Structure 1
Amino acid sequence: MLTASTRSLARKASTNASPQRMMSAITGVKGREIIDSRGNPTVEVDITTAQGTFTASVPSGASTGIYEAHELRDGGSRYMGKGCATAVANVNTVLADAIMGMDSADQRGIDEAMLKADGTPNKANLGANAILGISLAIGKAGASSRGIPLWKHYAEIAGNPIPETLPIPCFNVINGGEHAGNKLPFQEFFVIPTGAETFSESMEIGCEVFHNLKSVIKAKFGGDATLIGDEGGFAPPCDVESGLDMIMEAADKAGYLDKVSVGLDVASSEFKVAGEDAYDLDFKATEKDPSQVLSGDEMIALYKKLIDKYPIVTIEDPFDQDDWANWSKIVAEVGEEVQIVGDDLTVTNPIKIQEAVDTKAANCLLLKVNQIGSISESIDAVKLSKQNGWGVMTSHRSGETEDNYIADLAVGLCTGQIKTGAPCRGERTAKYNQLLRIEEQLGASAIYPGMGFRKPAWMG
């Protein structure tokens, strides 16, 4: 239901606007609570214009950085404190009033109006989940108003003249850390089809390696070990090296050993020993092994050993979000050959990215829109990263929805790489399937970056 103030805004918009502007003006904003892939509530938003209703939903992370924008949860007993009723109410009242009647094609203007309504640096007042839900739905409405695909709309907002690059997929085929109940400390193990020639071929490779990996794990550990984690990957009772060994064995069995690279998301903030230069690789065990507590230098030695033994091309969050010295050290030692990705370190925030640029603490941004809370700010983060020679990896969250907008975002912003889980579970395959559709739309002009994923064509 429209309030008196929103009706006034809508009337004002209809009086002063051109016919095209009237078609794209926001006439309705509706938020609701839906359920994400982990069974927790999240925010979904409908934006209505004369052209229809456009819906988007917000993801949520399990392994979250302390510097991320504020995700507003209700607390109390409902949904074990994770309810989003307050964020939804903010969508339907304060935020709706702030943007009603505005042109849905004006992504930045709408995002800025919401930031002004919130009035805090990290969206603590109204909630990043409330603001992002609207920001994402606005993107879809804006693309429709201009009669272009969402990926192209994102490209034009960002000033990307070459939106033809499909991202290389980083398939998370083994889950550990906070994403699985095994003892594996590292959170994600990627199969990356760097040797594919097209995105379609990369999907064939990823799916076939995934199925072969299931057979390898079952033969070693039994059928129970092929149960899957939050992002669709398997969660076997292995250690880091045996996990990588199984991935390479699966790639060999699938016939793609020469076309596959691998990567890691260590998510080391989850097992940093407080107040010490130490990381507890046995952090999930009930009876801990003291030999598994490594110093920063010992962690770097471990990473170097793995890089020498396996075709590793990317390592995400090798150190804690506040361990700047060790971040800078690992970039200096392996950053030329291996991409060092900032997630908890940079939280898609231009301020944190600039700090990492200045200290040479990373060379790739993990793009998670809910870490910063709006599309416009996400674009700013990508531009800053690219201007400083970084790579950009578009990313889902462990708590996902069926929404597939990050596929369009990865193409529109020419990130060159994406991680959105294993080729398993509907909320993960939704993104891969959208990329297959975009590849079909692009036809012969579609570019697959392969080993050039760190430096795709557009540099911002």
Structure 2
Amino acid sequence: MSRIEEVRARRIWDSRGRPTVEVEIVTETGARGRGIAPAGASRGSREAMELRDGGTAFDGKDVKTAIAGIAREIAPALRGHEVAEQAMIDAMLIALDGTPDKSRLGGNALIATSLAALHAAASERGLPLWRYVAGDEQVTLPLPQIQIFGGGAHAERRVDVQDFMVIATSATSFAQALEMTAEVYRHAGVLMRKRGAAQGVADEGGWWPAFSSNEEAMDVLVASIEAAGFVPGTDMGIALDIAASEFGKGGQYTLGLDNVRLDTDAMIEKLLRWIARYPIVSIEDPLSEDDEAGMIAFTRAAGSKVQIVGDDFFVTRAAFIEDAAAKGACNAALIKLNQAGTVTETLAALRAARRNGYASIVSARSGETEDVSIVHLATGWNAGQLKVGSFSRSERMAKWNEGVRIEEGGAMGFAGAAVLSRSR
């Protein structure tokens, strides 16, 4: 391996037309790697903080300060270091920032740099990223979770639930899972147009919801699965991202669409009724990030039936996953690179999930780009599941299509529905 020669940062644009950070690293042999920072709309309060400029330009979301910090501090510190020393590079980035939430230099600056180093190291070896991170391990293509309807913070809160997704539980390959989902997505659009409810697409490409209740969205989703020729609960399961921290705090949950205010026990009862009524196989953030007791109670009640995923509850932190496992909360962890802030910390969270018998789902954010890193990482880390949004919009399709290419050239298996977690 060779040493880092250049670290360049630039402002590019994400899928919502907002500025974001791209970093390019060049080694002394000419190998190059690029990393791009995504951005979330629904964010856990404890995740790594982006550095934005404030002020009036781009609603305060410009990233010139973050880019200047990369040029002023990060680039000089990394020059001359071995590009393959990922853990050392990430430790340097964390030390340079010096804050618990990466707010001084910015989580966006750190994750873009960390990813760029990883890509440069893979390029130096002449390997695709998935193979570089897998080493000699046998890995599988992940099972996709794909959004059909977008809600919550992704769709101006038109429905309370943030993601209504499907999982092709009978698929035997990554390509087949996409083929099946494409039909469900298409039929969902047809049904919405017939109902006069088609109003474009949300942030992550799912159909923009125009429903009178959260249950209506699931009714239409089940009808879409059937219209596509599949059996709900056999060929296709439903995955929900409740994103309860967006409408719940202190054990109180306000569902705007249903015009009700529920305490923790009532919220759990509502979710259990949904599980009994619909072919739900996975529920993400069913309770808010500050409702640990509720998350434990819900896991006890439903963990043997469905996958219970912590997102805002864990914010891709190994220590939080370890603590939850000891207390019996959740049975799966969402893994987001920019929540953690570096590749090394992200991998530590995934390993903590695996060590404790949790399933893991590598996930994109609502503000995305053409970057396909997470597909390679979900595969090379053998994560088992992948969530990148819907089956439309090029920043989403770039990732699904990359999975098809990896599967075609990788001579590997497919994780399939066996990776969906149930109670340990």
* Contact 2:203–2:366 (Cα < 8 Å) also in 1: yes
Q: Does 1:268 align with 2:244?
A: yes
1:203 correspondence with 2:178: yes
The number of equivalent residue pairs is 418
Counterpart position of 1:61: 40
Matches within 5 A, 1:228-243: 228-238=201-211, 239-243=213-217
1:41 matched residue in structure 2: 19
Superposition map of 1:59-138 within 5 A? 59-138=38-117
Equivalent residue number for residue 374 of structure 1: 342
Aligned pair 1:161/2:129, yes or no? no
Q: Is the 8 A contact 1:171 1:420 kept in 2?
A: yes
Residue equivalent to 1:145: 124
Of 153, 170, 181 in structure 1, the residue corresponding to residue 145 of structure 2 is 170
Instruction: Identify the match of residue 453 of structure 1 among 415, 419, 422.
Output: 419
Match for 1:178: what amino acid? A
1:258-407 mapped onto 2 (5 Å cutoff): 258-272=234-248, 274-275=249-250, 277-282=251-256, 289=259, 292-407=260-375
Amino acid at match of 1:229: A
d(CA) in 1 for partners of 2:31 and 2:38? Answer: 24
Pairwise CA distance, 1:226: 4.0
Distance in 1, Cα, partners of 2:196 & 2:240: 22
What's 1:244 paired with?
218
What displacement does 1:194 show?
0.9
Work out the CA distance in 1 between the residues paired with 2:353 and 2:55.
39
| Letter paired with 1:142 | A
SS at match of 2:360: strand
The DSSP-based 3-state class of the residue aligned with 1:366 is: strand
DSSP 3-state at the match of 2:75: helix
Partner in structure 2 of residue 3 of structure 1: none
Indicate the SS of the match to 1:113. Answer: helix
**RMSD, aligned α-carbons:** 1.5
Distance (Å, rounded) in 2 between the aligned partners of 1:78 and 1:412: 39
Structure 1 CA distance, aligned partners of 2:156 and 2:351? 37
Q: 1:227 aligns with which of 196, 200, 204?
A: 200
The counterpart of 1:256, out of the listed 224, 230, 234, is 230
Amino acid of the residue matched to residue 382 of structure 1?
Answer: L
Instruction: Identify if the C-alpha distance between structure 1 residues 455 and 301 changes in structure 2 by more than 3 Å, giving closer, same or farther.
Output: closer
Does residue 417 of the first structure (1) align with residue 411 of the second (2)? no
Aligned mate of 1:437, from 391, 405, 418 = 405
Q: Kindly provide the CA deviation profile for residues 362-415 of structure 1, in whole angstroms up to 9, marking residues without a partner as x.
A: 111100000010101111110011000000011000000110100001001111
Q: Deviations over 1:267-306 (max 9, x none)?
A: 011111x44x321111xx7xx93xx111111111111111
Question: Does structure 2 conserve the Cα–Cα contact (< 8 Å) formed by 1:182 and 1:235?
Answer: no
What amino acid is aligned across from residue 122 of structure 1 in structure 2?
A: D
Match of 1:14 in 2: none
Paired AA for residue 429 in structure 1? M
Q: Secondary structure of the residue that 1:60 maps to in structure 2?
A: coil
CA distance in 2, matches of 1:241, 1:194: 22
Q: Deviations over 1:46-76 (max 9, x none)?
A: 1112233322211000010100011111111
Distance in 2, matches of 1:109 and 1:182, equals 42
Structure 2, gaps ≥5 residues long:
none
Q: Which residue identity lines up with residue 205 of structure 2 in the other structure?
A: G
**Helix, strand or coil for the counterpart of 1:452?**
helix
Structure 1 residue 181: Cα displacement: 3.0
Shift of 1:101: 1.2
User: Contact between 2:31 and 2:124, CA under 8 Å: does it hold in 1?
Assistant: no
Q: By how many angstroms is 1:183 displaced?
A: 2.6
Deviation, 1:247, is 1.2
CA distance in 1, matches of 2:155, 2:371: 23
Gaps of 5+ in 1: 1-20
Q: For the Cα contact (< 8 Å) 2:21–2:67, is it kept in 1? A: yes
If each structure's strand is expressed as a fraction of its own residues, which one has the higher value?
2
Q: Which amino acid aligns with 2:252?
A: A
Provide the secondary structure at the position in 2 that maps to 1:184: coil
Shift of 1:188: 0.3
Q: Structure 2: how far apart are the matches of 1:51 and 1:452?
A: 42
Query: Between Structure 1 and Structure 2, whose CA radius of gyration is higher?
Result: 1
1:31 is aligned to 9
Tell me, what secondary structure is at the counterpart of 1:430?
helix
Q: Report the secondary structure of 1:210's partner residue.
A: helix
Kindly state the Cα deviation for residue 455 of structure 1 after the two structures are TM-superposed.
6.2
How far is the alpha carbon of 1:147 from its aligned partner? Answer: 2.1
Answer yes or no: is the 8 Å Cα contact 2:35–2:111 preserved in 1: no
Report the TM-score when normalising by structure 1: 0.88
Measured after TM superposition, the shift of residue 343 of structure 1 is: 0.5
Give the counterpart letter for 1:436 in structure 2.
V
Preserved contact between residue 171 and residue 235 of structure 2 (Cα < 8 Å): yes
1:246-279 CA-to-partner distances (Å, cap 9, x unmatched) read 111111111122311111000011111x44x321
Please list every run of at least 4 consecutive aligned residues from structure 1 whose deviation after the TM superposition is greater than 4 angstroms: none
- Name the SS of the counterpart of 1:383 in structure 2: helix
SS at match of 1:207: helix
Give a deviation string over 1:106-153, Cα, whole Å, max 9, x none: 111111111121122221221111111111111111111122210112
